[in-house]
Structure 1
Amino acid sequence: MTQYADKDRIVLAGLAFYGYHGVMMEENALGQRFRIDLELGLDMDEAARTDDVGATISYAHIYDLVKEAFEEKRFKLIEALGYHIITRLFERFERLEWIRIKVRKPEAPLPIVAGEAAIEIVRSRGQV
Structure 2
Amino acid sequence: MNVINSYITLNNLEIYAYHGVSPQETKVGNTYIINLKLKVDYSKAGETDSVEDTVSYADVFSIVKEVMSTPSKLLEHVVYRICEALFERFKQVEEIEIHLDKNNPPMGADIETAGVYLACSR
With normalisation by structure 2, the TM-score equals 0.91
Partner residue, 1:95: 92
Deviation at 1:112, TM superposition (A): 2.9
1:19 corresponds to which letter in structure 2? Answer: A
Deviation at 1:14, TM superposition (A): 1.1
**Greater mean deviation of Cα atoms: 92-101 or 110-119:** 110-119
Deviations 1:34-57 (A, max 9, x none): 111100111121111222221101
Unpaired segments ≥5 residues, structure 1: 1-5
> What does residue 42 of structure 2 align with?
44
Aligned partner letter, 1:117: A
Consecutive unaligned residues in structure 2, runs of 5 or more:
none
- The answer to whether 1:84 aligns with 2:99 is no
Pairwise CA distance, 1:113: 2.5
Q: What root-mean-square deviation, in Å, do the aligned CA atoms of Structure 1 and Structure 2 show?
A: 1.2
Deviation at 1:114, TM superposition (A): 3.7
SS in 1 for 2:109: coil
Q: Percent identity at matched positions?
A: 36
Q: 1:99 Cα shift?
A: 0.5
Higher strand fraction: Structure 1 or Structure 2? 2
By how many angstroms is 1:26 displaced? Answer: 1.4
TM-score normalised per structure 1: 0.87
Number of corresponding residues: 119
SS of the residue 1:12 aligns to: strand
In structure 2, how many angstroms separate the alpha carbons of the residues matched to 1:78 and 1:119? 7
**Structure 2 partner of 1:122:** 119
Determine the structure 1 residue equivalent to 2:16. Answer: 18
Contact 2:104 2:111 in 1 (8 A): no
Code of the aligned partner of 2:93:
L
Verify the 8 A CA contact 2:105 2:111 in the aligned structure 1.
no
Partners of 1:28 and 1:50 lie apart in 2 by 45
Structure 2: how far apart are the matches of 1:50 and 1:88?
27
